[in-house]
Amino acid sequence: MDPVVVSVNIARPRAELFEYLADVANHAEFKDHYLSDWHLTREDSVGRGAGARFREQLPLSRFGWGDYTLAEVDPPYRIVERGRSGKFNRVRAIGEWTLHDAPGGMTRVDYRYETQPATLSDRLMELVAGRGWWKRKLSRSVRRLQAIFEEDRARGRRATIAAR
């Protein structure tokens, strides 16, 4: 799938946002509307190597489990997530958070997401979900991230090592 890019300006310092995003346990708080059943892949949920496994709620998907690991963490500018999903975890996924200073003490948060399907059937499944589905879900997640920081609301549950 071609990259989907969503952006939002948040009225908080870049370092504070980066610290929050570098802890993968926090991601369930703003992504739980399309990713559920979060489990951490290691005890330390912060920084390079931290990861999570979850169920994607894609339309018509029978193989909804996916995961990602924080592969690159460059404070306080960039975080790269690398993961896999789909049948036999053969669809590669890359997510990249980029934080920039914006006027008025704000931080511009950009999130870029793309997938690399391995087979024709994986490409066909992406057509079912489509870029529009991903764009809607990712746009909502950055708006929820903004609400968490600016209005202290819209928090979901934090991910844990084992399901409760």
pLDDT digit string, tens, across residues 92-103: 999 999 999 999
Task: Evaluate the omega torsion of the peptide bond into residue 76 and state whether it is cis, within 30 degrees of 0.
Answer: yes
Determine the Cα–Cα distance for residues 134 and 31; give it in Å rounded to an integer. Answer: 12
164: pLDDT strictly greater than 60? no
Residue boundaries of the structural domains of the chain: 4-150
Q: Write the pLDDT tens digit of every residue in 12-38.
A: 999 999 999 999 999 999 999 999 999
pLDDT at residue 41 tops 90: yes
**Does position 109 have pLDDT exceeding 80, yes or no?**
yes
Query: Which CATH number fits the domain 4-150, given the four candidates 3.30.530.20, 2.40.50.180, 3.40.50.1370, 3.90.226.10?
Result: 3.30.530.20
Residues 45 and 23 sit within 8 Å (Cβ to Cβ): yes
Mean of pLDDT values over 130-145: 91
